[in-house]
Amino acid sequence: MNSDTGYMRIALEEARSGALEGEIPVGAVAVFEGRVIARAHNRVESLRDASAHAEMTVLKAASSVLDRWRLTGVTLYVTIEPCPMCAMALVLSRVDRVVFGAPEPRTGAAGSFIHILGNPALNHRPEFLGGVLSDEASALLREFFRNKRAAGSASHASPDTNPSLTEPENHV
Ligand SMILES: [Zn+2]
């Protein structure tokens, strides 16, 4: 097991904690000098805050720990490809590196939907790597949405197995 996999496992633990709280299971971890300095999961529902994505919370916590907004030297691990909001926050925070698990075809900003990470037009381009433990991250999402449908929250459940964060039935 290399260190990327090890840190991603911690992010996956966070994602599982989120699922237990009824949150879409996405977890993130910030690592500085080989040490986990912050970890969080998505808390959009509990905080009633559309911006409370795991990455946003981890960036804020990491800035607080290091007492600076420039997160040079930090690697951010997240279980799902970051959305445009989080990707831009990662760029602005000047993190060195972003490692993510599963690609997110509908909102991913590391190339799946749009290119923010690594965009040559931006003055900071974090190194990024996807696909680390992606099967586990996707399986968590699939299970979460399956349980949600089984609980009867969506009466017209589609056989959609796409592990996207945007559940089609949620568009009102
Ligand atoms: Zn996000």
What are the tens digits of pLDDT across the range 30-60?
Answer: 999 999 999 999 999 999 999 999 999 999 9
pTM for this predicted structure: 0.88
Instruction: Reduce the DSSP state of residue 100 to 3 states and report it.
Output: strand
- Extract the tokens encoding 128: 């990024």
Summary count for the chain: helices (H), strands (E): 5, 5
Strand duo 127-129 + 97-102: pairing? parallel
pLDDT (0 to 100) of residue 3: 94
Catalytic residues: 55
Strands (E), 69-136: 74-80, 97-102, 127-129
Q: What is the DSSP letter of 169?
A: G
Q: How far is the CA of 91 from the centre of ligand 1 (A)?
A: 13
Q: How far is the CA of 141 from the centre of ligand 1 (A)?
A: 15
